[in-house]
Chains A and B, each alone.
Chain A
Amino acid sequence: MKSEFPILQQDINGHPLVYLDNGATTQKPRSVIEAVKRYYEWDNANVHRGVHTLGSRATDAYEGAREKVARFLNAASSRQIIFTRGTTTALNLVASGYARQTLREGDEIVITPMEHHSNLIPWQQAAKATGATLKYIPLQPNGTVALEDVEATVTERTKIVSITYVSNVLGTINPIAEIAKIAHRKGAILVVDGAQSTPHMKVDVQALDVDFYAFSGHKMCAPTGIGALYGKAQLLEQMEPIEFGGEMIDFVELHDSTWKELPWKFEGGTPIIAGAVGLGAAIDFLEQIGMDNIERHEHKLVKYAMERLSEIDGITIYGPSAEQRAGLVTFNLGDVHPHDVATVLDTEGIAVRAGHHCCQPLMRWLKASATARASFYLYNTEQDIDRLAESLVKTKEFFGYESIG
């Protein structure tokens, strides 16, 4: 599998690269790189306007990618797929285009303390602008969400529940279908941050019955700068665009204008055409391997990683058991600061993330100012985890952590 990814063929600091920062972004297979290259070499033009051949090809490529995304998420129609720059833009679109226009003073937005800043700050801002209240579902000690707590926090005044499918720090997989039932029973809509779930497991937005679902392409083998928002048709119809300009209009008069139909009314300006083409190629690549196979592979890896890392003296692993988590492990190595851990691992050719992972409230909940995170993808192997574990032991010896502090 690694042979499909040109970037993984190199040595870093004299060691074969072990890339374990997939929660941040993933590497791109040859087929995706080729698809983007071919698009620019053969089909590039602006979409939805040129009468010429390239214009038609570019439009077909762009809209073809939308069809692929719709099928990938099992959306009822590709009209319900809006291309965005990524998860952050998609969630902001819901917070600005839906929340700010529908929330009234006294209404509630419910989220959790495990949200990425992208699924937290847009709601803070929407609450401030509308007078709505932002509420948090408490977390269990192992970093999971209990349905009783969802039931207790979501009230008749709650209009929006927004939660991540998979935590980028804890790895927790949240029970989205059950949360959707509770939210709907109380008259709220459910928004799901799918940044860490979409690349790693089969997602069926209709079976989950979510109202909005956001994800990023670059975390699933596609280029940066492309992602999508799925929404239920009647909600999207009801929403106002937040970006105005070319591409999204129907008729323009001197003092008024009308919008195109879904999904184009939300895609002002020349869209990210090559990015969408790359996303389409990434979906082809992932589907060829099979999302179930990817999920199984990562589950095996995370189980192995939890076993191997637990053997290291002085390590703290955050989050639930391997059974309840996706393919990532967040940890601290005694008193060695995670930046120091990451620097030592880097000299061994191993890339991990260190810091607060854009989750400052969650870091406070964990009582850690920063943590280190190894996150896996389809190209990682048990040997990669062996290298990580061995290097962590070396790190510990190097810092002689027992005497620090």
Chain B
Amino acid sequence: MSQLDDLYRRVIMDHYKTPRNRGELEDGSVTVNLNNPTCGDRISLQLQLEDGIVRNVKFTGEGCSISMSSASMMTEAVMGKTGEEALALADKFSALMKGEDVQFDDYEDVEALSGVNKFPARIKCATLAWNALRKGVEQGSGKHEGIEE
């Protein structure tokens, strides 16, 4: 089962079994609900953006080990980053899913998901949380500007 070991590395199972930043945020945050209609995985992501910076991020949802561990890793990777940096990380993650050799210097856990690109049917599981992040940052920055005006 070496192919499997490759996919389900210890770090992935760790994030799956003890997810980071799982829960809900208080008011004043952006909420994004996304699901994979073909398989039923769903995520509710909450972002607190202040001065363009991701001050806090939490998620709830249900799904397979890949989608939930990816969500957990994503929250740790983007915490404290600017919206732009978060979006850049999302792009990097897309590249990782295409099998490109990219590094996540600040947060190497994410690289554990590189094995997913060998299982094309599972890529959408891994990208769910990152797609939610993209939406959240875009919504959040729009909202932020709105308040400023």
Q: What A residues does B16 contact at CB under 8 A?
A: 404
Does A343 sit at the interface, judged by CB under 8 A?
A: yes
Q: What A residues does B40 contact at CB under 8 A?
A: 355-356, 360, 363, 369-370
Q: What A residues does B67 contact at CB under 8 A?
A: 339
In Å, the complex CA distance between A343 and B119 comes to: 8
Q: What B residues does A370 contact at CB under 8 A?
A: 39-41
Q: A340-B64, A363-B40 are in contact. Are A398 and B125 (CB under 8 A)?
A: no
In Å, the complex CA distance between A223 and B67 comes to: 34
In Å, the complex CA distance between A360 and B121 comes to: 20
Q: What A residues does B147 contact at CB under 8 A?
A: none
Q: Report yes or no: B39 in contact with A354, Cβ–Cβ below 8 A.
A: yes
Does B63 sit at the interface, judged by CB under 8 A?
A: yes
Nearest residue, chain A, Cβ from B62: A369
352-387 of chain A: CB within 8 A of chain B: 354-356, 360, 363, 369-370
Q: A343-B7, A403-B17, A404-B17 are in contact. Are A356 and B1 (CB under 8 A)?
A: no
Does A344 sit at the interface, judged by CB under 8 A?
A: yes
Max chain B C-beta neighbours (<10 A), residue from A13, A346, A363: A346
Name the distance in Å between B130's Cβ and chain A's nearest Cβ: 17
96-120 of chain B: CB within 8 A of chain A: 119
Q: A340-B64, A369-B62, A404-B16 are in contact. Are A355 and B119 (CB under 8 A)?
A: no
Q: Mark B117-134, 1 if CB is under 8 A from A, else 0.
A: 001011001000000000
Q: Report yes or no: A398 in contact with B4, Cβ–Cβ below 8 A.
A: yes
In Å, the complex CA distance between A403 and B1 comes to: 20
Chain A: residues with Cβ within 8 Å of the partner, total of 22
Q: Report yes or no: A340 in contact with B65, Cβ–Cβ below 8 A.
A: yes
1-23 of chain B: CB within 8 A of chain A: 1, 3-4, 7-8, 13, 16-17
In Å, the complex CA distance between A360 and B1 comes to: 33
Nearest residue, chain B, Cβ from A337: B64
Q: What B residues does A344 contact at CB under 8 A?
A: 1, 4
324-350 of chain A: CB within 8 A of chain B: 337-340, 343-344, 346-347
Does A394 sit at the interface, judged by CB under 8 A?
A: yes
Q: Report yes or no: A398 in contact with B3, Cβ–Cβ below 8 A.
A: no
Q: Report yes or no: B39 in contact with A347, Cβ–Cβ below 8 A.
A: no
Q: What A residues does B7 contact at CB under 8 A?
A: 343
Does B66 sit at the interface, judged by CB under 8 A?
A: yes
Q: Report yes or no: B125 in contact with A339, Cβ–Cβ below 8 A.
A: yes
Q: What B residues does A360 contact at CB under 8 A?
A: 40
Name the distance in Å between A88's Cβ and chain B's nearest Cβ: 16
Q: Report yes or no: B63 in contact with A394, Cβ–Cβ below 8 A.
A: no
B65 is contacted by which of A337, A356, A363, A403 (Cβ under 8 Å)? Answer: A337
Q: Report yes or no: A356 in contact with B39, Cβ–Cβ below 8 A.
A: yes
Q: Report yes or no: A347 in contact with B66, Cβ–Cβ below 8 A.
A: no
Q: Mark A250-282, 1 if CB is under 8 A from B, else 0.
A: 000000000000000000000000000000000
A339 is contacted by which of B1, B3, B4, B64 (Cβ under 8 Å)? Answer: B64
Name the distance in Å between A371's Cβ and chain B's nearest Cβ: 9
Q: What B residues does A354 contact at CB under 8 A?
A: 39
Nearest residue, chain B, Cβ from A356: B40
Q: Mark B61-105, 1 if CB is under 8 A from A, else 0.
A: 011111100000000000000000000000000000000000000
Name the distance in Å between A315's Cβ and chain B's nearest Cβ: 17
Q: Would you list 11 pairs from A and B whose C-beta atoms are within 8 A, ordered by A residue?
A: A339-B122, A340-B66, A343-B7, A355-B40, A356-B39, A356-B40, A360-B40, A369-B41, A369-B63, A370-B41, A399-B13
Chain B residues at the A interface, C-beta cutoff of 8 Å = 1, 3-4, 7-8, 13, 16-17, 38-42, 62-67, 119, 121-122, 125
Given contact pairs A360-B40, A399-B65, a sample of 10 additional A-B residue pairs in the complex whose CB atoms are under 8 Å apart: A337-B65, A339-B41, A339-B66, A339-B67, A343-B4, A343-B119, A355-B38, A363-B40, A394-B1, A399-B13
Those 4 A-B pairs whose CB atoms lie nearest each other, nearest first? A337-B64, A339-B64, A355-B39, A356-B40
